[in-house]
Amino acid sequence: MERAGLSTAPLYTEISRSILFPPPRPPTCFIKGRRTDHHKSRRLRSNCRGTEKDCSDSSRMDEDWMSSPSATPYQILGVDSTSCSPAQLKAAFRARVKEFHPDVCRDMKDADSIIRRVIQAYEVILSVNQQVETTERVCMDPFEEPECEAYDLFVNEIQCVGKGCPYSCVKKAPHAFSFTGENGTARAMSQGHGDDYLVQSAVGQCPRRCIHYVTPSQRVILEDMLQSILSPPYDLSEADFLDSLIIKANFENNRYQQPKRKPKVSSKYVDWS
């Protein structure tokens, strides 16, 4: 295309050349405050190599536990014994079942034995975790975290009026309370009366408010402390500490909520063939 005797062919040639072959950019190492492409490519190559290595290691670990009869339950499921959460354990178990279930691995001869090992490993780890939770619960302070609802009876004999009480709990519920021979105060002689109306009336009508609903662990501690207070030498500071524990127990027991029931999940393998 020519106009006024001037040719535009060289102009189109320069434009197309600049699009297809852009001028070289300066190396990014001279740009202040930015990482160089050389380091970025090196990091990318190292990540690629690391991914290939992880994949090869994981496949090698799968082969190891499948061929080793002495593999631990954690090795069978491929989880860490020190930092595995219940959600991670369940996810690992599901992944193993999807991978080695006989309906999926029909060509594998040992699929039945492998899936049984996976199920046994899952059950073993679950039982270990339950034992750990039970041990931690036993070691907890029952006045900080009650272990159950407060249905046991405890009478603070230091504040009890005794036989001269006009609203005697012993007369109201003689199957649960009786007078002691040492000092004539009331004492809970039996437990398991959480839904008993007479016992509830006796607790509510106590004029000194010295009958309390506590948990079994709290009751054992309070009874031991009460016996030490009533035995010479007498220490008033222990009585104050007993009162503080009772106040704390009443507060935490009123806040206690039963744990929600977990849905039953069966991990047993059923052979439908």
Domains assigned to the chain: 68-139 (1.10.287.110), 152-253 (3.30.70.20)
The answer to whether residue 239 scores a pLDDT higher than 50 is: yes
Highest mean pLDDT: which of 41-55, 63-77, 193-207, 229-243?
193-207
Amino acid 157: pLDDT: 93
Three-state DSSP string of the chain: CEECCEECHHHHHHHHHHHHCCCCCCCHHHCCCCCCHHHHHHHHHHHHHHHHHHHHHHHHHHHHHHHCCCCCHHHHHCCCCCCCCHHHHHHHHHHHHHHHCCCCCCCCCCHHHHHHHHHHHHHHHHHHHHHHHHHHHHHCCCCCCCCCCCCEEEECCCCCCCCCCCCCHHHHCCCCEEECCCCCCEEECCCCCCCCHHHHHHHHCCCCCCEEEECHHHHHHHHHHHHHHHCCCCCHHHHHHHHHHHHHHHHHHHHCCCCCCCCCCCCCCCCCC
The neighbour count for residue 199, using CB atoms within 10 Å, is: 24
Highest mean pLDDT: which of 17-21, 166-170, 238-242?
166-170
Confidence of residue 223 (pLDDT cuts 50, 70, 90): very high
Q: Output the pTM of the full model.
A: 0.48
Q: Across the chain, what does the average pLDDT equal?
A: 75
Neighbouring-strand partners of residue 213: 153
Q: Which amino acid is at 78?
A: G
The answer to whether residue 108 scores a pLDDT higher than 80 is: no
The answer to whether residue 265 scores a pLDDT higher than 80 is: no
Amino acid 46: pLDDT: 40
The answer to whether residue 89 scores a pLDDT higher than 70 is: yes
Give the mean model confidence (pLDDT) for residues 121-138.
Answer: 75
Q: What is the pLDDT of residues 153-210, one digit of tens each?
A: 999 999 999 999 999 999 999 999 999 988 899 999 999 888 889 999 999 999 999 9
The answer to whether residue 116 scores a pLDDT higher than 90 is: no
